[in-house]
Chain A
Amino acid sequence: MDFSVITNNFKFLILQGLVGIGPFIGGTLRLAIPAIMLGFALGIFVGLARLAQAPWIRLPATAYVEFFRGVPLVMVIFWIWIIVPQVLRLPIPEYGVALTAFVIFEAAYFGEIVRAGVQSVPRGQVEAATALGMTGAKTMTYVVLPQALKNMVPSLVTQMIVLFKDTSLASIIGYVDLTKAAQIVNNREIKPFQIYIFIAVVYWLCTYSMSLFARRLERRAA
């Protein structure tokens, strides 16, 4: 089997597709990294809101999580791609659409992880912090969250890997990530088997190294 199609288009696939340097606005990493950070940040708020005492905070957060865990990501992407510009009468570039969709969608999943992490911290820790005279916010920031974070690491990395893979769906709306770059190359060269196996290996190298890293972190934390 002839793999010269890969060597000939290597630069385009990796620089344009994976990293995002090239004639098109694109790049899997340029989308995945901010999406992971913002999704996690929003997820912390969602997760904490689900644990709030006040129902007017807890119930909307619960509804948010249940809603986004019950619909496909592709649907969410279409909502933001087709409907939001119609309603706001404002064109949104593909990058903005994809980033917004991923952050909103994944925050629901990150929120569940944060909630489970916070719930895994023994109750006595909160009581001890209160006994020391810490306020609720201080207890959360200095006592509960740092310990919760440690417990969350395995599922957090798992979710980050999921999000990293999900960024391939941005190609549906024309964002030139690794998958779209592969489609572009394939339209010209018609070597689908070689091209798709190649990007599968590239994705695999990224995600597998993430999970190896997670395993090392887990061992160190244990």
Chain B
Amino acid sequence: MNYTFKWSVLWTGESGRWLVQGLLTTLELSALAWLLAVALGILAGALRTVRFTPLRWAATSYVEFFRNVPLLVWMFFWYFGVPPLLPRGVQDWLFNHGAEFWAGMLALGVYHGARISEVIRSGIQSIPRTQFEASLAIGLTTFQAYRLIILPVALRLIVPPATNESLNLLKNSSVALTISVAELTFQTRQIETYTAKAIEAFTAGTLIYLVLCLSIATIMARVERRYAIPGLIARVGPGQ
């Protein structure tokens, strides 16, 4: 091996600023996509358990189509495929306002929404049907039963698989570099290109992801213990 290490490239020149910007973009992209994914996931996950067939069918098609196609394809689809269908003015506005970020956010959110809905569905289905029947018997409507009884319990049951899926989302945000969103992996490559110090650049990027993931996992393990439902050992299987 014939390689001279020069770790100072990480804090001299622009590198430090690029890393911080990359990290912030990754966090911003992941956070917005996560909100979208959770909203879609709760909606689709709940709809897949209702009796009314057209709603259930619509939710099922969304989930089965979006989660079974690679995220990278969705990135290209939302970034290259969709904008040309929009009116000219909207297109111009989008490309002046960071279209790649919003396309990446949509791709991540819609894809992971389908995956999170599977987690939520398995959480809902692990609650005994009698709870739902009891809610109706005390006079709640179906919507109230879901909002007040089923979902609050399901959300506490699914903390571990939901954490897993959220970390997947965070790691998958790196795919957005393919549509040139300047997130962490993108900035890592940029440092590598400018300094020609590949090992240093990629070590920095990799460690940031690792620390991020491990600290979220540690925090969520505490949340899991805090919100565990006493007396229940029902383990909810992860969605696909």
Contacts and interface: CB of A to CB of B under 8 A. Distances in A.
9 contacts: A78-B185, A161-B68, A168-B72, A172-B72, A179-B72, A182-B73, A192-B80, A192-B84, A193-B85
Given A86-B3, A89-B2, A168-B70, A75 B213 contact: no
Contacts of A171: 72
A128 interface: no
B70 A179 contact: yes
Interface in B75-92: 76-77, 80-82, 84-85
Contacts of B77: 192-193, 196-197, 200
B102 interface: no
Contacts of B3: 86-87
Which applies to chain A's interface (DSSP): helix, strand, loop or mixed? helix
Given A67-B210, A199-B73, A75 B68 contact: no
A75 B240 contact: no
B205 interface: yes
Contacts of B80: 186, 192, 196
Contacts of B238: 155
A104 to B, nearest CB: 13
Closest 8 CB pairs of A and B: A192-B80, A168-B70, A72-B174, A70-B213, A165-B70, A72-B171, A193-B81, A207-B68
B73 A74 contact: no
A14 B192 CA distance: 35
Interface in A38-96: 66-67, 69-75, 78-79, 82-83, 86-89
A10 interface: no
Contact of A203 (B70, B81, B173, B209): B70
A74 B76 contact: no
A208 B213 contact: no
Contacts of A88: 1
B64 interface: yes
A66 B167 CA distance: 13
A211 interface: yes
Given A74-B177, A183-B76, A207 B189 contact: no
Interface string A192-210: 1101110110011001100
Interface of B: 1-3, 64-65, 68-74, 76-77, 80-82, 84-85, 167, 171-175, 177-178, 185, 188-189, 192, 198-199, 202, 205-206, 209-210, 213-214, 217, 238, 240
Nearest to B171: A72
A83 B202 contact: yes
A129 interface: no
A169 interface: yes
Interface residues of A, number: 44
B11 to A, nearest CB: 20
A71 B84 CA distance: 34
B103 to A, nearest CB: 12
Contacts of B185: 72, 74-75, 78
B206 A71 contact: yes
Given A72-B174, A75-B174, A89-B2, A211 B240 contact: yes
B174 A161 contact: no
Contacts of A155: 238
B202 A79 contact: yes
A71 B171 contact: yes
Contact of B214 (A70, A87, A165, A183): A70
B192 to A, nearest CB: 7
Contacts of B72: 168-169, 171-172, 179
Contact of B240 (A78, A161, A168, A203): A161
